[in-house]
Amino acid sequence: MVEIKALACQLPKDLGLPLSRMSHEEIARQAVKRGIVASISGATVWRWLSADAIRPWFFRGWIWPRDPQFEQKAGRILDLYHRLWNRRPLGQNDFVICADEKTSIQARQRLVPTTAPRPGRLSRVEHEYKRRGALVYLAAWDVQRARVFGLCRTTTGIDSFRELVRLVMNRQPYRSARRVFWITDNSTSHRGEVAVERMKRWHPNAILVHTPIHASWLNQVEIYFSVLQRKILTPNDLESLEELQARIIAFQSLYETTAEPFEWKFTRNDLKNLLARLSGREHECRKAA
């Protein structure tokens, strides 16, 4: 049993196999071929591996944190979520905004209209569709007040992002706030120190805070985007871009009627522990290579 599990925990390429992953049947065949056992079934292999939650036929994609300042940048954002900035508590007149763009949202008109569910039958959505164009949805999420601000445009860019910033900053309480922290990623619309200075020129009380590279999970607006994806874009059956835009903006208003701040529990200590584990895995991978 131990040798079977050891076999399952190796990459197929290291075994000289032209495979990306192995099924339990393939592991069984390799075990017999390599003389580990005289005979064994795939079902037995599956049962043994399942006992230790070893499933080499599944995989999970992920990205190494490659930003040299990952902990520092991520830590600032985690502090903001816990109402801290430079180790000092935020005041009542300080606000935290998460912003991003959801790109390439397509309007797909199904060749046959979608049917409603009936007793004993699911709703049916035609597989084939006509493309009716695509939009970009720019949204800003107030972390403390659970408010959503958004607009749809045909392209991203500095001008579109500035429209979103204006949409928020020209309203109270943000217009007269002491500080409004804007958490964004590193897309071309708001990348680098140039964007930080540009934001200050637009609104002196606005502070742009970048997430580390490849760390969209730190941006709370992505949680809202995931809800939007499930609620109005899956399935996608829309006759025009106008209908798509109207539905997105209508959902935004509907969502706000029941929205509450996300319960964010991940802290700086959690971040340190995570990075320590990843560092250990990276060392193991390099050592194995």
The pLDDT mean for the chain works out to 94
Structural domain includes residue 251: yes
Q: What are phi and psi of 59, to 5 degrees?
A: -150, 160
Residue 149 token pair: 């601000």
Whole-number Cα distances in Å, 4 to 59, 68, 149, 208, 282: 19, 40, 55, 53, 25
Amino acid 286: pLDDT: 61
> Can the peptide bond before residue 89 be classed as cis, meaning omega within 30 degrees of 0?
no
Range of the domain at 217: 70-256
Q: Dump pLDDT digits (tens) for 262-272.
A: 999 999 999 99
Amino acid 63: pLDDT: 78
Q: Are residues 158 and 16 part of one domain? A: no
The C-alpha atoms of residue 99 and residue 222 are separated, in whole angstroms, by 9
The C-alpha atoms of residue 20 and residue 35 are separated, in whole angstroms, by 23
Q: Are residues 210 and 75 part of one domain? A: yes
Whole-number Cα distances in Å, 13 to 9, 20, 22, 225: 12, 7, 10, 38
Angle 159-221-234 from CA coordinates, rounded to 5°: 100
The C-alpha atoms of residue 23 and residue 286 are separated, in whole angstroms, by 26
Structural domain includes residue 266: no
Whole-number Cα distances in Å, 171 to 151, 164, 165, 177, 275: 15, 12, 10, 10, 39
Q: Are residues 128 and 183 part of one domain? A: yes
Q: Dump pLDDT digits (tens) for 49-84.
A: 999 999 999 988 877 788 889 999 999 999 999 999
State the pLDDT confidence band at 283, using cuts at 50, 70 and 90.
Answer: low
Structural domain includes residue 273: no
Structural domain includes residue 276: no
Angle 95-100-105 from CA coordinates, rounded to 5°: 145
Given a cut of 90, whether residue 169 has pLDDT beyond it is yes
Amino acid 230: pLDDT: 96
Given a cut of 60, whether residue 288 has pLDDT beyond it is no
Number of domains observed in the structure of the chain: 2
Structural domain includes residue 64: no
Q: Dump pLDDT digits (tens) for 104-146.
A: 999 999 999 999 999 999 999 999 999 999 999 999 999 999 9
Q: Dump pLDDT digits (tens) for 33-51.
A: 999 999 999 999 999 999 9
Structural domain includes residue 79: yes
Given a cut of 60, whether residue 5 has pLDDT beyond it is yes
Q: What percentage of the chain reaches a pLDDT higher than 70?
A: 97
Q: Are residues 129 and 177 part of one domain? A: yes
Amino acid 285: pLDDT: 62
Q: Are residues 124 and 33 part of one domain? A: no
Structural domain includes residue 286: no
The C-alpha atoms of residue 156 and residue 147 are separated, in whole angstroms, by 22
Q: Are residues 178 and 207 part of one domain? A: yes
Amino acid 139: pLDDT: 98
Q: What percentage of the chain reaches a pLDDT higher than 90?
A: 90
Q: Are residues 237 and 117 part of one domain? A: yes
Structural domain includes residue 157: yes
Q: Are residues 94 and 46 part of one domain? A: no
The C-alpha atoms of residue 224 and residue 212 are separated, in whole angstroms, by 20
Q: Are residues 126 and 231 part of one domain? A: yes
Q: Are residues 108 and 38 part of one domain? A: no
What mean pLDDT is predicted for residues 19-27? Answer: 95
Q: Are residues 195 and 82 part of one domain? A: yes
Q: Are residues 79 and 16 part of one domain? A: no
What mean pLDDT is predicted for residues 199-219? Answer: 95
Amino acid 280: pLDDT: 74
Residue 94 token pair: 């300080």
Whole-structure pTM value: 0.85
Amino acid 279: pLDDT: 79
Q: Which residues have CB under 8 Å from 250's CB, separation 6+?
A: none
Instruction: Please report, for the domain that includes residue 114, its CATH number.
Output: 3.30.420.10
Angle 167-173-174 from CA coordinates, rounded to 5°: 50
| 3-state DSSP percent of the chain in helix, strand and coil, to 5 | 40, 20, 40
How many of the other CB atoms lie within 10 Å of CB of 119?
Answer: 4
